[in-house]
Each structure stands twice: as C-alpha cells, then as structure tokens.
C-alpha cells in the first residue's frame, strides 16, 4: 500500500492507494463520530463493514442527478436520520458521487467531515482529491460548489474490479492529461504506480494553489471543450471521453497560436492513442453553440480562457481570436 500526503497545513490528509486498503478506513474517523452516512449509487454495490452505526444513502446516476435537488434530498435524509456535526460522511463511488457527497457534507450543519472512497479510475486519479466539490446547473457543469478537503481518500484498487470498460477509458482520459502536467511517462507502469504518479502530480498542484487562484487551473487541461461537449450532448458523452477530445483540441489551438509545433501535436496523439482514446467526435457539432458555451464556463474571466501547452508547459491563456477556436474544432469532428 502506498500513501501520499496532501500538504495543506491543518487541512492536510493522506491518500492511500493499494489493494485492500478500504479495510483501514475506520482509522480516519474522528473520535467524535457516532454515525457514518455512506453516500453511494445502487449499481456500485460495494459494502464497507464498520463497527459504527451506519446507513447507506443512494443517489441517482449520471450528470443530471448531480444537482442541487440531490444535495437537498440527501441533507433532508441526514436530518431525518439524526446525523450530527460530529459524525462523518463517506462518498463511495465515482467522481459524481464524491462531488455530491462532499458538497452536501460541506454545507450540512456548516461542514461535516468527509472521507472519499473513489471506485472509478477517474475518481482515484482526479475527482476525489483536492477538495473541489459541486453540482451542475442546467446552465453548466459544476457551477455551484465549495472547496472542502476530505479527511482521507482511500483508493482501493480492488473496487475497480467491476468497473465497465467505458469507465476505464474515461479514467485513462484523465491519466493522459497528467502526461502534459509533468508526470513521469506512465505508459509502461502498472495500475497502482500509474494511479500513484497521477495523484502525486495532482497533490503537488493542489498543495501550491488550493483555491485555484493560479496554477491549479492547469488541472483543467482539455476541460473547457470537454464541459461544453458534455452539456451539448446532454451528458451522453462521458466526462473522460470528452476530456480526451478536449486534449486533442487544446493541442490544435496551441498549434494555431504558435505555442507548440507539429511534433508536440503528434505527441498528444501518441499519448491519447496509447490509452485507446477517441480524439474525434465522429459527427458535426454546432460550433457557434460550443463557442458560446465556452464563455459560460466558470473559468472564463475576460474572453475565453484556455489551458494550453507551450514552451513553459501547460498554462492558462486568454484566447481572444474566436476564429482560431472555431478552426481548431475541425480536427475533432
Ligand atoms: N472534484 C474534482 O476535482 C473533479 C475532477 C474531475 C472530475 N470530476 C467530476 O467527476 C465526475 C465524473 O466521474 P466518473 O467518471 O467517476 O463518473 P461517475 O461517478 O458518473 O461514474 C461513472 C459510472 O460508473 C459507475 N461506477 C462507479 N464505480 C463503479 C464500480 N466500481 N463498478 C461498477 N460501476 C461503477 C457509476 O455508478 C456510474 O454509472 C464528473 O461529474 C466530473 O465533473 C470532479
């Protein structure tokens, strides 16, 4: 089992990665906790045995259930059950579950301890770590949320046994992203080492910029187009699939802006191909609509901010020439 620490002063916490590490979860419960609220989804079907009094709260599936209504329903069920401020919440599931559970925990009684137990590859390498919580609005993804660091993150590789093929691909969409954010080349690594390497990169970025006032934005590499595509496709395109297309698109935008050369674009393709990721949507999209969705993305301040590769590595860049953004869409359709 490997342990990586997220260094955030009094909000620091461990991330465990390994086989069977879920058995250690009680070690991270605060002494005050009498009750454990486990938030999960029916299809996940993973049981965690505790000595404490616990109850399972199931939420719906998919991005449409990642809503403020789900959060309110959860909080009301917690009140009904008598969950108090000294108790603990566990988010047991993919990124959707951990985002919702931790958001609800962060506002319930003005903040309850939460432990994230990601059960998807994407959750392990990204969503469960770093303290971003939130839900969608009809107007866009993750438009309401909080920063609320968990007490621990337990990445038990055994939970991935039942993960469908498509969800593996989604996880590898985020793994591919880390290749451009300073990770070692993971193409020859085993699963645990790959997860650990991605977590190391994420935790070091989060430790430097917890609240995304600067460099943390680079974790959104490939995400501006991804969020627009997810919304435009009414979430029939999964997050990780959209991120893979978004990474290829971001490479093209960087190329048109003269930030990277053809060889670097080819390297993007090589990495995405290695993980068997689709770089094209396979259909035409309404480009004007996609561009208008970019400007609704919460990362846009003045103009459209894109996270782009370049000589100094990946960094946020304000793109004002909308024509470049439109032209680059051609390579991913
Ligand atoms: N907070 C962050 O920093 C952050 C970062 C990246 C992504 N996210 C969010 O994460 C979400 C995507 O996460 P995801 O890809 O894990 O999707 P998800 O949580 O929707 O899970 C995908 C599907 O896999 C199922 N599933 C989960 N674990 C399983 C298992 N072990 N066996 C079988 N089925 C299982 C789920 O029930 C679901 O149907 C998005 O909402 C995205 O916005 C958040």
Four-point Cα dihedral 291, 324, 332, 259, nearest 10: -120
Under 8 Å between Cβ of 220 and 212: no
| Rounded Cα distance, 56 and 78, in Å | 10
What tokens appear for 200 in the block? 């190391």
| Residue with CA closest to ligand 1 atom 11 | 95
Strand pairing partners for 284? none
Is residue 332 classed exposed, middle or buried when 0-12, 13-18 and 19+ CB atoms within 10 A define those classes?
Answer: buried
Residue 156 sits at the vertex; the CA angle it makes with 152 and 160, to the nearest 5 degrees, is: 135
| Residue with CA closest to ligand 1 atom 27 | 94
> How far is ligand 1, taken at its centre, from the CA of residue 118, in Å?
8
- Tokens 């342990």 correspond to 3
Cβ of 91 less than 6 Å from ligand 1: no
Four-point Cα dihedral 46, 50, 56, 61, nearest 10: -30
Sorted by where each begins, the domain ranges of the chain are 2-163, 173-332
- Tokens 């893979």 correspond to 244
Under 8 Å between Cβ of 119 and 92: yes
pLDDT at 283 (0 to 100): 87
> How far is ligand 1, taken at its centre, from the CA of residue 198, in Å?
17
> How far is ligand 1, taken at its centre, from the CA of residue 322, in Å?
32
Report the nearest atom of ligand 1 relative to the CA of 162.
32
Cβ of 130 less than 6 Å from ligand 1: yes
CATH 3.30.70.890 for domain 2-163: no
Helix (H) or strand (E) holding 45: none
- Tokens 């093929």 correspond to 165
User: DSSP letter at 21?
Assistant: G
- What CA–CA distances, in Å, run from 316 to 42, 199, 214? 38, 21, 8
Report the nearest atom of ligand 1 relative to the CA of 121.
16
Mean pLDDT of successive 10-residue stretches along the chain, which has 333 residues = 97 98 95 96 89 95 96 98 97 98 98 98 98 93 95 98 95 97 98 98 97 94 93 83 96 98 98 96 90 70 83 94 93 95
68: number of Cβ within 10 Å: 16
Q: Which three-class secondary structure state does DSSP give residue 75?
A: helix
pLDDT at 105 (0 to 100): 98
- Tokens 């009809």 correspond to 138
Pocket test for ligand 1, best of 42, 65, 122 (most atoms within 8 A of CB): 122
Instruction: Return the closest-CA partner of residue 95 out of 123, 121, 70.
Output: 123
**How far is C-alpha 185 from the geometric centre of its chain's CA atoms?**
21
Report the nearest atom of ligand 1 relative to the CA of 99.
1
Report the nearest atom of ligand 1 relative to the CA of 41.
37
| Residue with CA closest to ligand 1 atom 5 | 127
| Residue with CA closest to ligand 1 atom 21 | 94
Under 8 Å between Cβ of 247 and 268: yes
What is the third-level CATH fold of 173-332?
Answer: Dehydroquinate synthase-like, alpha domain (1.20.1090)
Pocket test for ligand 1, best of 120, 137, 220 (most atoms within 8 A of CB): 120
What tokens appear for 166 in the block? 């498509």
> How far is ligand 1, taken at its centre, from the CA of residue 62, in Å?
8
Cβ of 145 less than 6 Å from ligand 1: no
| Rounded Cα distance, 148 and 71, in Å | 15
């Amino acid at each position: 089992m490997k342990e990586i620490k997220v260094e955030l002063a009094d909000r620091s916490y461990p991330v465990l990665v390994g086989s069977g590490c879920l058995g250690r979860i009680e070690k991270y419960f605060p002494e005050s906790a009498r009750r454990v609220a486990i938030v999960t989804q029916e299809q996940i079907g993973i049981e965690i045995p505790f000595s404490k009094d616990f109850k399972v709260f199931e939420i719906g599936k998919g991005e449409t259930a990642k809503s403020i209504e789900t959060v309110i329903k959860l909080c009301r069920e917690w009140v009904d059950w008598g969950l108090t401020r000294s108790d603990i919440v566990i988010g047991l599931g993919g990124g959707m579950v951990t985002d919702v559970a931790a958001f609800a925990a962060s506002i319930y009684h003005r903040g309850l301890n939460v432990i994230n137990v990601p059960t998807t590859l994407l959750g392990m390498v990204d969503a469960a770590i770093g303290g971003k919580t939130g839900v969608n609005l009809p107007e866009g993804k993750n438009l309401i949320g909080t920063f609320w660091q968990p007490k621990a993150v337990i990445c038990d590789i055994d939970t991935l046994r039942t993960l469908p093929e498509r969800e593996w691909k989604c996880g590898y969409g985020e793994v591919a992203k880390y290749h451009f954010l300073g990770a070692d080349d993971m193409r020859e690594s085993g699963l645990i080492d790959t997860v650990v390497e991605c977590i190391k990169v994420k935790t070091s970025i989060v430790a430097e910029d917890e609240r995304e006032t600067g460099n943390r934005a680079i974790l959104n590499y490939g995400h501006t187009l991804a969020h627009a595509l997810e919304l435009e496709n009414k979430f029939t395109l999964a997050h990780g699939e959209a991120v893979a297309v978004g990474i290829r698109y971001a490479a093209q935008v960087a190329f048109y802006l003269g930030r990277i050369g053809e060889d670097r674009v080819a390297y993007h393709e090589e990495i995405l191909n290695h993980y068997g990721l689709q770089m094209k949507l396979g259909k035409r999209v309404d480009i004007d609509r996609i561009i208008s969705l970019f400007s609704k993305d919460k990362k846009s301040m003045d103009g459209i901010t894109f996270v782009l590769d370049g000589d100094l590595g990946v960094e946020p860049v304000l793109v004002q020439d909308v024509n470049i953004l439109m032209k680059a869409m051609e390579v991913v359709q």
